[in-house]
Structure 1
Amino acid sequence: METALPTRKEAFDLLKEFNTSDSLIRHGLAVEGVMGHFADKFGKDREKWQIIGLVHDLDYERYPDQHCKKTREILMARNWPEAYIRAIESHGWGLCSDVKPESLLEKTLYAVDELTGLITSTCLVRPSRSVLDLKAKSVTKKWKDKSFAAGVDRSVIQKGAEMLQMDRGELISETILGMQAVAEAIGLKGNL
Protein backbone atom coordinates (compact mmCIF):
# COMPACT_ATOMS: atom_id res chain seq x y z
CA MET A 1 0.00 0.00 0.00
CA GLU A 2 1.36 3.41 -0.98
CA THR A 3 1.90 5.84 1.87
CA ALA A 4 -0.19 9.00 1.53
CA LEU A 5 1.18 12.25 2.88
CA PRO A 6 -0.76 13.38 5.93
CA THR A 7 -2.59 16.68 5.73
CA ARG A 8 -2.35 19.43 8.32
CA LYS A 9 -5.99 18.77 9.31
CA GLU A 10 -5.28 15.07 9.83
CA ALA A 11 -2.24 15.94 11.93
CA PHE A 12 -4.12 18.44 14.08
CA ASP A 13 -7.06 16.06 14.57
CA LEU A 14 -4.60 13.36 15.62
CA LEU A 15 -2.88 15.72 18.07
CA LYS A 16 -6.25 16.52 19.66
CA GLU A 17 -7.24 12.83 19.72
CA PHE A 18 -4.19 11.93 21.82
CA ASN A 19 -3.83 15.16 23.82
CA THR A 20 -6.41 17.02 25.88
CA SER A 21 -3.97 19.37 27.64
CA ASP A 22 -4.19 22.92 26.29
CA SER A 23 -0.50 23.46 27.08
CA LEU A 24 0.55 20.40 25.03
CA ILE A 25 -1.64 21.48 22.11
CA ARG A 26 -0.23 25.03 22.28
CA HIS A 27 3.29 23.55 22.42
CA GLY A 28 2.55 21.53 19.25
CA LEU A 29 1.27 24.70 17.56
CA ALA A 30 4.37 26.62 18.67
CA VAL A 31 6.75 24.01 17.29
CA GLU A 32 4.66 23.85 14.11
CA GLY A 33 5.07 27.61 13.67
CA VAL A 34 8.80 27.51 14.33
CA MET A 35 9.33 24.57 11.98
CA GLY A 36 7.46 26.45 9.24
CA HIS A 37 9.70 29.46 9.81
CA PHE A 38 12.86 27.36 9.54
CA ALA A 39 11.55 25.49 6.48
CA ASP A 40 11.14 28.86 4.75
CA LYS A 41 14.58 29.99 5.95
CA PHE A 42 16.23 26.84 4.61
CA GLY A 43 14.11 26.58 1.43
CA LYS A 44 12.49 23.28 2.47
CA ASP A 45 8.98 21.76 2.38
CA ARG A 46 7.05 24.02 4.76
CA GLU A 47 3.99 21.77 5.10
CA LYS A 48 6.04 18.65 5.88
CA TRP A 49 8.13 20.48 8.46
CA GLN A 50 5.07 22.00 10.10
CA ILE A 51 3.13 18.73 10.29
CA ILE A 52 6.10 17.00 11.94
CA GLY A 53 6.43 19.89 14.38
CA LEU A 54 2.73 19.80 15.18
CA VAL A 55 2.63 16.11 16.16
CA HIS A 56 6.15 15.65 17.55
CA ASP A 57 4.82 15.12 21.11
CA LEU A 58 1.80 13.08 20.01
CA ASP A 59 2.33 10.34 22.59
CA TYR A 60 3.49 12.52 25.49
CA GLU A 61 0.23 12.92 27.40
CA ARG A 62 -1.07 9.34 27.19
CA TYR A 63 2.24 7.48 27.15
CA PRO A 64 4.85 9.57 29.00
CA ASP A 65 6.89 6.43 29.82
CA GLN A 66 6.99 5.50 26.11
CA HIS A 67 7.49 9.02 24.72
CA CYS A 68 9.00 9.01 21.21
CA LYS A 69 8.48 5.26 20.94
CA LYS A 70 4.67 5.02 21.07
CA THR A 71 4.36 7.62 18.30
CA ARG A 72 6.00 5.19 15.86
CA GLU A 73 3.28 2.63 16.59
CA ILE A 74 0.46 5.20 16.32
CA LEU A 75 1.70 6.68 13.04
CA MET A 76 2.58 3.33 11.44
CA ALA A 77 -0.98 2.17 12.11
CA ARG A 78 -2.12 5.25 10.19
CA ASN A 79 0.31 4.64 7.32
CA TRP A 80 2.41 7.76 7.85
CA PRO A 81 5.68 8.05 5.89
CA GLU A 82 8.78 6.62 7.56
CA ALA A 83 10.65 9.94 7.17
CA TYR A 84 8.00 11.71 9.28
CA ILE A 85 8.08 8.99 11.95
CA ARG A 86 11.88 8.94 12.12
CA ALA A 87 12.04 12.74 12.42
CA ILE A 88 9.60 12.67 15.32
CA GLU A 89 11.56 9.91 17.08
CA SER A 90 14.80 11.85 16.67
CA HIS A 91 13.60 14.89 18.62
CA GLY A 92 14.05 12.89 21.82
CA TRP A 93 17.59 11.72 21.03
CA GLY A 94 19.50 11.03 24.22
CA LEU A 95 16.40 11.58 26.36
CA CYS A 96 13.80 9.03 25.26
CA SER A 97 15.12 7.87 21.89
CA ASP A 98 18.28 6.40 20.39
CA VAL A 99 17.46 7.89 16.97
CA LYS A 100 20.07 10.56 16.30
CA PRO A 101 18.96 13.62 14.31
CA GLU A 102 20.65 13.46 10.89
CA SER A 103 18.65 15.47 8.36
CA LEU A 104 18.32 19.25 8.52
CA LEU A 105 14.66 18.80 9.49
CA GLU A 106 15.55 16.43 12.33
CA LYS A 107 18.31 18.69 13.66
CA THR A 108 15.97 21.68 13.57
CA LEU A 109 13.20 19.88 15.45
CA TYR A 110 15.73 18.68 18.03
CA ALA A 111 17.08 22.22 18.49
CA VAL A 112 13.78 24.09 18.80
CA ASP A 113 11.58 21.74 20.84
CA GLU A 114 13.01 22.57 24.28
CA LEU A 115 13.70 26.16 23.21
CA THR A 116 10.04 26.89 22.55
CA GLY A 117 9.39 25.92 26.16
CA LEU A 118 12.04 28.33 27.46
CA ILE A 119 10.70 31.12 25.26
CA THR A 120 7.12 30.47 26.40
CA SER A 121 8.18 30.56 30.05
CA THR A 122 10.09 33.79 29.45
CA CYS A 123 7.03 35.40 27.84
CA LEU A 124 4.76 34.44 30.72
CA VAL A 125 6.85 36.28 33.34
CA ARG A 126 7.03 39.50 31.31
CA PRO A 127 4.57 42.37 31.88
CA SER A 128 3.25 42.07 28.30
CA ARG A 129 2.95 38.24 28.49
CA SER A 130 3.69 38.36 24.77
CA VAL A 131 6.15 36.89 22.30
CA LEU A 132 5.53 39.83 19.96
CA ASP A 133 7.85 42.21 21.85
CA LEU A 134 10.31 39.57 23.06
CA LYS A 135 13.99 39.93 22.26
CA ALA A 136 16.62 37.16 22.30
CA LYS A 137 18.57 38.91 25.09
CA SER A 138 15.62 38.41 27.48
CA VAL A 139 15.67 34.67 26.77
CA THR A 140 19.47 34.57 27.13
CA LYS A 141 19.18 36.24 30.54
CA LYS A 142 16.66 33.59 31.65
CA TRP A 143 18.88 30.86 30.13
CA LYS A 144 21.56 31.66 32.70
CA ASP A 145 19.12 31.26 35.63
CA LYS A 146 19.09 27.46 36.00
CA SER A 147 16.15 27.60 38.45
CA PHE A 148 14.00 29.35 35.81
CA ALA A 149 12.11 26.83 33.63
CA ALA A 150 14.21 24.15 35.30
CA GLY A 151 12.54 21.42 33.21
CA VAL A 152 14.02 22.84 30.02
CA ASP A 153 17.16 20.89 29.08
CA ARG A 154 19.49 23.65 27.97
CA SER A 155 22.14 21.13 26.87
CA VAL A 156 19.73 19.84 24.20
CA ILE A 157 19.23 23.37 22.86
CA GLN A 158 22.99 23.95 22.82
CA LYS A 159 23.66 20.63 21.05
CA GLY A 160 20.91 21.46 18.56
CA ALA A 161 22.43 24.86 17.81
CA GLU A 162 25.80 23.17 17.24
CA MET A 163 24.21 20.56 14.94
CA LEU A 164 22.71 23.39 12.89
CA GLN A 165 26.02 25.28 13.02
CA MET A 166 24.16 28.26 14.42
CA ASP A 167 25.06 30.64 17.17
CA ARG A 168 22.71 30.10 20.12
CA GLY A 169 21.59 33.74 19.96
CA GLU A 170 20.64 33.34 16.30
CA LEU A 171 18.74 30.14 17.06
CA ILE A 172 16.82 31.94 19.82
CA SER A 173 16.04 34.92 17.55
CA GLU A 174 14.83 32.73 14.69
CA THR A 175 12.71 30.61 17.05
CA ILE A 176 11.11 33.76 18.46
CA LEU A 177 10.25 34.86 14.90
CA GLY A 178 8.57 31.51 14.24
CA MET A 179 6.56 31.80 17.44
CA GLN A 180 5.57 35.39 16.69
CA ALA A 181 3.86 34.21 13.50
CA VAL A 182 1.51 32.02 15.59
CA ALA A 183 1.36 34.20 18.74
CA GLU A 184 -2.43 34.23 18.98
CA ALA A 185 -2.83 30.47 18.43
CA ILE A 186 -0.28 29.68 21.17
CA GLY A 187 -1.68 32.16 23.68
CA LEU A 188 1.32 34.49 23.58
CA LYS A 189 -0.16 37.58 21.95
CA GLY A 190 -0.39 38.98 25.47
CA ASN A 191 -1.83 42.40 26.07
CA LEU A 192 -0.18 44.12 23.10
Structure 2
Amino acid sequence: MTTTIPSREDALELFRKYNKSDALYKHALSVEAVMRYIAEKLGEDVERWGLVGLVHDIDYEMYPDQHCHKSTEIFNEAGWPEELSRAVASHGWGICSDVEPQSLMEKYLFTIDELTGLVNTTALVRPSKSVLDMTPKSVKKKWKDKRFAAGVDRSIIEKGAAILGLEISEVIDLTIMGMRTVADEIGLRGEA
Protein backbone atom coordinates (compact mmCIF):
# COMPACT_ATOMS: atom_id res chain seq x y z
CA MET A 1 0.00 0.00 0.00
CA THR A 2 1.32 3.41 -0.99
CA THR A 3 1.49 5.94 1.83
CA THR A 4 2.78 8.83 -0.25
CA ILE A 5 0.03 11.16 -1.26
CA PRO A 6 -0.02 12.55 -4.79
CA SER A 7 0.71 16.20 -5.44
CA ARG A 8 -2.15 18.63 -5.86
CA GLU A 9 -1.13 19.05 -9.51
CA ASP A 10 -1.38 15.28 -10.10
CA ALA A 11 -4.73 15.17 -8.30
CA LEU A 12 -6.06 18.05 -10.37
CA GLU A 13 -4.85 16.43 -13.58
CA LEU A 14 -6.60 13.18 -12.63
CA PHE A 15 -9.79 15.06 -11.73
CA ARG A 16 -9.76 16.97 -15.04
CA LYS A 17 -9.30 13.69 -16.94
CA TYR A 18 -12.71 12.54 -15.74
CA ASN A 19 -14.55 15.87 -15.36
CA LYS A 20 -15.08 18.72 -17.83
CA SER A 21 -17.92 20.56 -16.08
CA ASP A 22 -17.02 24.01 -14.76
CA ALA A 23 -19.70 23.73 -12.06
CA LEU A 24 -18.27 20.43 -10.81
CA TYR A 25 -14.76 21.92 -10.85
CA LYS A 26 -15.91 24.87 -8.72
CA HIS A 27 -17.65 22.46 -6.36
CA ALA A 28 -14.41 20.47 -6.07
CA LEU A 29 -12.47 23.66 -5.29
CA SER A 30 -15.07 24.61 -2.68
CA VAL A 31 -14.93 21.26 -0.91
CA GLU A 32 -11.12 21.25 -1.11
CA ALA A 33 -10.94 24.72 0.45
CA VAL A 34 -13.30 23.85 3.28
CA MET A 35 -11.43 20.62 4.00
CA ARG A 36 -8.11 22.51 4.05
CA TYR A 37 -9.54 25.19 6.31
CA ILE A 38 -10.90 22.65 8.80
CA ALA A 39 -7.71 20.56 8.73
CA GLU A 40 -5.64 23.64 9.52
CA LYS A 41 -7.94 24.59 12.41
CA LEU A 42 -7.73 21.06 13.83
CA GLY A 43 -3.99 20.62 13.30
CA GLU A 44 -4.57 17.83 10.77
CA ASP A 45 -2.76 17.09 7.48
CA VAL A 46 -3.91 19.99 5.28
CA GLU A 47 -2.60 18.45 2.03
CA ARG A 48 -4.26 15.08 2.61
CA TRP A 49 -7.60 16.61 3.61
CA GLY A 50 -7.45 19.05 0.69
CA LEU A 51 -6.76 16.31 -1.86
CA VAL A 52 -9.70 14.25 -0.66
CA GLY A 53 -11.93 17.30 -0.97
CA LEU A 54 -10.62 18.11 -4.44
CA VAL A 55 -11.20 14.65 -5.93
CA HIS A 56 -14.21 13.45 -3.95
CA ASP A 57 -16.49 13.59 -7.02
CA ILE A 58 -13.92 12.28 -9.52
CA ASP A 59 -16.33 9.68 -10.93
CA TYR A 60 -19.49 11.78 -10.77
CA GLU A 61 -19.56 13.21 -14.29
CA MET A 62 -18.45 10.19 -16.36
CA TYR A 63 -19.88 7.44 -14.15
CA PRO A 64 -22.94 8.85 -12.34
CA ASP A 65 -24.44 5.38 -11.88
CA GLN A 66 -21.20 4.16 -10.28
CA HIS A 67 -20.54 7.23 -8.12
CA CYS A 68 -18.35 6.40 -5.10
CA HIS A 69 -17.57 2.99 -6.63
CA LYS A 70 -15.73 3.82 -9.85
CA SER A 71 -13.51 6.22 -7.91
CA THR A 72 -11.90 3.29 -6.08
CA GLU A 73 -10.91 1.77 -9.41
CA ILE A 74 -9.58 5.12 -10.67
CA PHE A 75 -7.47 5.64 -7.57
CA ASN A 76 -6.17 2.07 -7.57
CA GLU A 77 -5.02 2.44 -11.18
CA ALA A 78 -3.31 5.73 -10.28
CA GLY A 79 -1.56 4.10 -7.29
CA TRP A 80 -3.21 6.29 -4.67
CA PRO A 81 -3.19 5.29 -0.99
CA GLU A 82 -6.19 3.21 0.09
CA GLU A 83 -6.92 5.72 2.87
CA LEU A 84 -7.71 8.44 0.33
CA SER A 85 -9.79 6.11 -1.83
CA ARG A 86 -11.78 5.00 1.21
CA ALA A 87 -12.36 8.59 2.33
CA VAL A 88 -13.75 9.49 -1.09
CA ALA A 89 -16.07 6.46 -1.05
CA SER A 90 -17.32 7.38 2.44
CA HIS A 91 -18.72 10.74 1.38
CA GLY A 92 -21.60 8.90 -0.31
CA TRP A 93 -22.48 6.84 2.77
CA GLY A 94 -26.14 5.89 2.78
CA ILE A 95 -26.67 7.43 -0.66
CA CYS A 96 -24.48 5.56 -3.11
CA SER A 97 -21.96 3.87 -0.80
CA ASP A 98 -22.03 1.62 2.23
CA VAL A 99 -18.62 2.89 3.42
CA GLU A 100 -19.35 4.58 6.74
CA PRO A 101 -17.21 7.63 7.58
CA GLN A 102 -14.87 6.67 10.41
CA SER A 103 -11.89 9.03 10.46
CA LEU A 104 -12.31 12.70 11.31
CA MET A 105 -11.41 13.55 7.69
CA GLU A 106 -14.17 11.26 6.39
CA LYS A 107 -16.76 12.63 8.81
CA TYR A 108 -16.06 16.22 7.80
CA LEU A 109 -16.11 15.38 4.08
CA PHE A 110 -19.46 13.62 4.49
CA THR A 111 -20.87 16.63 6.36
CA ILE A 112 -19.66 19.55 4.27
CA ASP A 113 -20.03 18.16 0.74
CA GLU A 114 -23.76 18.95 0.47
CA LEU A 115 -23.38 22.08 2.59
CA THR A 116 -21.02 23.75 0.10
CA GLY A 117 -23.87 23.64 -2.42
CA LEU A 118 -26.27 25.34 -0.02
CA VAL A 119 -23.71 28.01 0.88
CA ASN A 120 -22.97 28.58 -2.81
CA THR A 121 -26.64 28.96 -3.74
CA THR A 122 -27.31 31.22 -0.76
CA ALA A 123 -24.41 33.48 -1.77
CA LEU A 124 -25.74 33.79 -5.32
CA VAL A 125 -29.12 35.15 -4.18
CA ARG A 126 -27.61 37.72 -1.83
CA PRO A 127 -27.35 41.31 -3.05
CA SER A 128 -23.54 41.10 -2.85
CA LYS A 129 -23.41 37.66 -4.56
CA SER A 130 -20.54 36.91 -2.20
CA VAL A 131 -19.46 34.59 0.61
CA LEU A 132 -17.24 37.35 1.99
CA ASP A 133 -20.07 39.06 3.88
CA MET A 134 -22.14 35.95 4.57
CA THR A 135 -22.96 34.66 8.04
CA PRO A 136 -24.35 31.32 9.20
CA LYS A 137 -27.63 33.13 9.94
CA SER A 138 -28.07 33.83 6.18
CA VAL A 139 -27.74 30.13 5.38
CA LYS A 140 -29.96 29.06 8.28
CA LYS A 141 -32.73 31.34 6.95
CA LYS A 142 -32.57 29.57 3.57
CA TRP A 143 -32.22 26.16 5.26
CA LYS A 144 -35.86 26.22 6.33
CA ASP A 145 -37.15 26.72 2.78
CA LYS A 146 -37.03 23.19 1.35
CA ARG A 147 -37.72 24.52 -2.17
CA PHE A 148 -34.56 26.63 -2.01
CA ALA A 149 -31.59 24.59 -3.26
CA ALA A 150 -33.94 21.61 -3.29
CA GLY A 151 -31.15 19.32 -4.48
CA VAL A 152 -29.26 19.78 -1.20
CA ASP A 153 -30.13 16.97 1.19
CA ARG A 154 -30.20 18.73 4.53
CA SER A 155 -30.63 15.44 6.40
CA ILE A 156 -27.11 14.42 5.33
CA ILE A 157 -25.67 17.63 6.75
CA GLU A 158 -27.65 17.12 9.96
CA LYS A 159 -26.48 13.52 10.23
CA GLY A 160 -22.85 14.56 9.67
CA ALA A 161 -23.04 17.37 12.23
CA ALA A 162 -24.47 14.92 14.76
CA ILE A 163 -21.66 12.43 14.05
CA LEU A 164 -19.15 15.24 14.65
CA GLY A 165 -20.98 16.46 17.74
CA LEU A 166 -21.35 19.95 16.24
CA GLU A 167 -24.24 22.35 15.90
CA ILE A 168 -25.40 23.07 12.33
CA SER A 169 -24.37 26.72 12.75
CA GLU A 170 -20.80 25.66 13.58
CA VAL A 171 -20.56 23.50 10.46
CA ILE A 172 -22.04 26.30 8.35
CA ASP A 173 -19.51 28.76 9.75
CA LEU A 174 -16.59 26.44 8.98
CA THR A 175 -17.92 25.96 5.45
CA ILE A 176 -18.35 29.68 4.81
CA MET A 177 -14.89 30.46 6.18
CA GLY A 178 -13.30 27.77 4.02
CA MET A 179 -15.12 28.92 0.89
CA ARG A 180 -13.99 32.50 1.51
CA THR A 181 -10.41 31.36 0.89
CA VAL A 182 -11.28 30.57 -2.74
CA ALA A 183 -14.00 33.16 -3.34
CA ASP A 184 -12.35 34.38 -6.56
CA GLU A 185 -11.83 30.90 -8.02
CA ILE A 186 -15.39 29.76 -7.34
CA GLY A 187 -17.01 33.00 -8.50
CA LEU A 188 -18.29 34.09 -5.09
CA ARG A 189 -16.30 37.26 -4.45
CA GLY A 190 -19.35 39.07 -5.76
CA GLU A 191 -19.68 42.78 -5.94
CA ALA A 192 -18.43 43.32 -2.36
Q: Common fold, TM-score beyond 0.5? A: yes
Structure-2 residue corresponding to 1:123? 123
* 1:32 to 2:32 alignment: yes
Q: CA deviation at 1:4?
A: 3.5
Structure-2 residue corresponding to 1:137? 137
Which amino acid in the other structure matches residue 174 of structure 2? E
CA contact (8 A) 1:3 1:79 kept: no
Structure 1 vs Structure 2: percent identity of aligned residues?
Answer: 57
Structure-1 residue corresponding to 2:88? 88
TM-score normalized by structure 2? 0.98
Q: Which runs of 5+ in 1 are unaligned?
A: none
Structure-1 residue corresponding to 2:98? 98
CA contact (8 A) 2:2 2:80 kept: no
Q: Which runs of 5+ in 2 are unaligned?
A: none
* 1:114 to 2:114 alignment: yes
Deviations 1:123-161 (A, max 9, x none): 111111111111100100100000000000000000110
Query: Which SS does the other structure have where 1:186 is aligned?
Result: coil
* 1:184 to 2:188 alignment: no
Cα root mean square deviation, aligned: 0.9
- Equivalents in 1 of 2:28, 2:117: separation in Å? 11
* 1:50 to 2:50 alignment: yes
- Equivalents in 2 of 1:9, 1:143: separation in Å? 35
Structure-1 residue corresponding to 2:64? 64
Query: Which SS does the other structure have where 1:59 is aligned?
Result: coil
Query: Which SS does the other structure have where 1:134 is aligned?
Result: coil
Deviations 1:30-88 (A, max 9, x none): 00000001101111000000000000000000010000000000010001000000000
Q: Any runs of at least 4 consecutive aligned residues in structure 1 with deviations exceeding 2 A, and if so which? A: 1-4
TM-score normalized by structure 1? 0.98
Which amino acid in the other structure matches residue 82 of structure 1? E
In the comparison of the two structures, how many residue pairs are matched?
192
- Equivalents in 2 of 1:41, 1:180: separation in Å? 15
Q: CA deviation at 1:103?
A: 0.4
